[in-house]
Amino acid sequence: MQIKSIENIINYFNQGIKKNQLIGVENEKFLFETNTNLRANYITVKKVLELLKNKFGWEEIKEDENLIGLKYNEKSITLEPGNQIELAGDKLENIHKVCSESHSFQDQLEVVCKEIGLKTMSIGYDPFTKLKDVPNNPKQRYQLMTNEMPKNGKLSLNMMYQTSGTQINLDYLSENDFKKKFKLISYLTPLAIGIFANSAIVENKPSGFLSYRAKVWQNTSRGGLPEIFLENMDFEKYADFAINMPLLFIFKKNQHIYAKGKKFKDFMDEKLSEVDNQLPTLKDLEIHLSTIFTEVRLKKYLEIRSLDACEWDCHCAGPAFYTGLVYEKLDEALDVVKNWKNNDILNAYLDAPKKGLKTEINNKSILNWGKILLNLSNEGLLMRNHKDNKGQNETVFLKNVEYILKENKTKAEKALEILN
């Protein structure tokens, strides 16, 4: 399929409309040498992938004969630029299944890492390594991104090589449902940063931020929280936003080609001499949408991208928090935030990496807004009534958020106490 008009892109988003709302989670991890805290290099991470394949039946993903990932049914394991490992999970019915899937992957990963002297760490930012010392890998797109990304974002390389996050993928039932969900998720970006802050330490010292990862992403090319996201976004507006975003690269004949600042709109207007002025295909569109690095983005689902990675005590809390709100209490949550002004949200977005729960929106702290929204999420998960084999519903996964808000202390602040 060729992408000739904005209507083709709107139609693509319409194809994402679902009858059933599933949950997908992508979680990223650092791998370190156990005895030295040195980041694992590509040769070592390749051994991890090979062991996962041999022991647990994953299938190889290769590029130019280089092993760059694995797949198993609908799940995939990919390498980030600094050899962080990302598990992109299946789309599942409830948080019990999501969490079980993540635990299963972690168990497999720990078995193979132990065998070759590695340890995993789920945290928003590498607490040990200087940027210049992070080993890279041979994935083509990362070589091009390493050259291009710093031109429009001073911390873009830190983002690529030194951050890990948890992304939550949620469905929409109609375009109107999308509009509401996109607005709520965008509004809640400062809360996601503040509540789930877990990256206070950089190069073994306090960074001055509770989520240094969020600070880095705010200074990354193609990232941020555009003010238009706080308006009534629809498929057409998002398509217009996307086609006016410069292309990061074009992928043709197994090569990543630099687009020299051209926009996706130029591609649609047959003005890309780099590909003989051909029209973009559906694959070109999907690649382009995946290289928009904003805090929330649209593909054929909604992707929430503002949470620091964290260990098992909180890993399932973010997906549970958003599932209860976005799937069951959407209108009530929108009512809670209806008086928030764009300027207040954007200022809170900039403040949250440093101030965490003390960040204010509309003269109330994220701590207090968080308690209100946590109660709503809890009600939403009770309404869903998805139980595990012990009879527990999904509210069990909110315990970490409850603890953070009750103690008024993020995981980042606890890490700083240990450091000191």
Q: pLDDT of 168-218, one tens digit each? A: 999 999 999 999 999 999 999 999 999 999 999 999 999 999 999 999 999
Residue 3 has a CB neighbour count (10 Å cut-off) of: 22
Ranking 165-169, 363-367, 401-405, 416-420 by mean pLDDT, the lowest is 416-420
Strand, coil or helix: 381: helix
Residues 339-388 have pLDDT tens digits of 999 999 999 999 999 999 999 999 999 999 999 999 999 999 999 999 99
Pairwise CA distance, residues 68 & 291, whole Å: 18
Q: Residue 334, CB half-sphere, CA atoms under 13 Å: how many?
A: 15
Which amino acid, 336? V
pLDDT at position 4 is 96
The pLDDT score that the predictor gives to residue 192 is: 98
- Return d(Cα 18, Cα 46) in angstroms, integer: 37
Q: Evaluate if residue 164 carries a pLDDT over 90.
A: yes
Residue with tokens 């993540």: 102
**E-state strands within 299-409:** 302-308, 360-361, 364-365
Confidence of residue 286 (pLDDT cuts 50, 70, 90): very high
pLDDT of residue 314: 84
Name residue, tokens 């807004």. 369
Q: In the prediction, which pLDDT does 60 show?
A: 98
What share of the chain in percent tops pLDDT 90? 95
pLDDT recorded at residue 252: 87
> What pLDDT is attached to residue 272?
93
The token duo for 93 is 């019915």
Read off the pLDDT of each residue in 274-296 and give the average, rounded to a whole number: 95
Average pLDDT over residues 396-401: 97
Cα gap 149→142, rounded to integer Å: 10
Cα–Cα distance for residue pair 287/285, rounded to 1 Å: 5
b (16+ CB within 10 A) / e for 221-243: bbbbbeeebbeebbbeebbbbbb
31: β partners: 120
Amino acid letter for position 318: G
* Cut 0.75: pTM above it: yes
CATH numbers and ranges of domains, the chain: 6-245+292-419 (3.30.590.20)
Distant-in-sequence, close-in-space partners of 36: CB < 8 Å, separation ≥ 6: none
- More confident call, 152 vs 314: 152
Percentage of the chain lying above the pLDDT 70 cut = 100
Residue 313 has pLDDT above 80, yes or no: no
Nearest Cα neighbor of 127 from 167, 102, 164, 154 is 164
- Output the CA angle 177-183-186, nearest 5 degrees: 135
The answer to whether the CB of 314 falls within 8 A of the CB of 196 is yes
**pLDDT of the residue at 43:** 98
pLDDT of the residue at 315: 87
- Helices 95-115 and 42-56 sit at what angle, rounded to 10 degrees? 120
Mean pLDDT of the chain: 97
Give 66-109 pLDDT, tens digit per residue.
Answer: 999 999 999 999 999 999 999 999 999 999 999 999 999 999 99
Check residue 260 and give its pLDDT. Answer: 86
pLDDT value for 253: 82
What would the pLDDT profile of 35-50 be if each residue is shown by its tens digit?
Answer: 999 999 999 999 999 9
Question: Which of these, 125, 188, 167, lies nearest to 305 by C-alpha position?
Answer: 167
Whether 398 contacts 406, CB under 8 Å: no
Q: Are 81 and 160 in contact (CB under 8 A)?
A: yes
pLDDT of residue 254: 83
